[in-house]
Amino acid sequence: MDDIWTKVDIFTTSEGVEPLSAALSDLGYDSVSVTDAADLKNLMDGKYGAWDYIEPELMKLNEAETTITLYLPGNAQSPSGICSIQKMLVQLKASDSAGKFGRLECLFTNIKDEDWADSWKDDYTPIIIGETFVVCPTWVDYDPGERKVIRIDPGMAFGTGLDVTTRLCLEALESIDVTGCSVLDIGCGSGILAIGALLLGATSALGIDLDEVAVKTAKENAGFNGLSGQAEFIYGSLFDIAGKTYDIICANISADVILSLMPEFKRFFNHDGHLILSGIIKDREQDIIDALLDVGMSVFNCKEESGWVCIKVSQGQGQSPG
């Protein structure tokens, strides 16, 4: 019998994306995707770099209602998950007296496990990121020009390039020299950050995740990009790789998880390594900075987009937030 998943589409506004994502994160749902017409405006305004051609499919974003999408497994926990989301939406709507967050209604759709990837294919198109990358689905024939193309089949894993936090991480990676570096990606999801680092010249990348499906998906994506020999993905946590060190560590996870791992990060650094932290809502930025300083790390750079913050840390360098 096929496993059934529940697709949850929550309708909001661009202003509602940040508070709604934070509320979902508090409920334990960090793996979400966002459809927002503001992304198209940012693209047209050159926020993601200059581009001579925009796929016609992307122009559909102009008419799209801002939507946050997540998936619930069809097990015994699914009904309670649905109830907790509905209750959260009622509370958020009650606090939004000005109606800035839109209708805050949700649509539930049952999807077979085997049909998951196809449900993504309806809307997933090439996405331009930063000055270097274009993230392209494996089923699309696309000429990236001089950009580095990351081929991704997202399957059931988080990290497709559509979400702000992943884009910020890739932009942070392209801003540093990763040539010859070893990379650790904590909470690797689809494997997109490890793959991006390898395309920039890193010699090896290890991704770890507590989701076995994500690890399987990441391995497949590494193969699509011809990087199976350089990329390794394992199911587990930092404690499963104790004793190893890396030049670059990426962690696109929630602020609370980052804080819980803060005492461990330095143990995995090579000298003068870089740490890239994302998945942090703006309200938690100072908490992360304070925790970094407490463990002797200096903040190298903070970048914000749509209420989300990516923090880049350089081990051993005494620069201030900027």
Q: How many residues does the chain have?
A: 322
The answer to whether 217 and 154 are in contact (CB under 8 A) is: yes
Average pLDDT, the chain: 82
Instruction: Note the pLDDT tens digit of each residue in 91-118.
Output: 999 999 898 999 999 998 887 765 555 5
Task: Give me the amino acid identity at 128.
Answer: I
Question: How many whole angstroms separate alpha carbon 127 and alpha carbon 77?
Answer: 34
Candidates 163, 198, 180; CA nearest to 247 is 180
74-84: b or e for each residue (b if 16 or more CB lie within 10 Å)?
Answer: beeebeebeeb
**Is a pLDDT exceeding 60 seen at residue 37?**
yes
In which residue are the tokens 């499963």 written?
A: 240
Residue 54 confidence (pLDDT) above 60: no
Task: Tell me the per-residue pLDDT of 119-128, one tens digit each, with 9 for 90 and over.
Answer: 556 556 788 8
- In a 10 Å sphere around its CB, with 0-12 CB exposed, 13-18 middle and 19+ buried, how is residue 306 labelled? buried
**Band of the pLDDT at 46, cuts 50, 70, 90?**
very low
How would you class 86 by CB atoms within 10 Å of its CB: exposed for 0-12, middle for 13-18, buried for 19 or more?
middle
Q: What is the rounded CA–CA span in Å between residue 298 and residue 84?
A: 38
pLDDT confidence bin for 52, thresholds 50/70/90: very low
Say if CB 135 and CB 150 are below 8 A apart. yes
Tell me the pLDDT tens digit for each residue of 251-295: 998 888 999 999 888 889 887 889 999 989 898 999 999 999 999
Q: For residue 241, which of 173, 295, 291, 186 has the smallest C-alpha distance?
A: 186
pLDDT of 157-167, one tens digit each? 455 666 788 89
Percent share of the chain, pLDDT over 70: 80
Query: Would you say 156 and 209 are in contact if contact means Cβ atoms under 8 Å apart?
Result: no
246 versus 18: which is more confidently predicted?
A: 246
Domains of the chain: 4-121 (3.30.70), 157-314 (3.40.50.150)
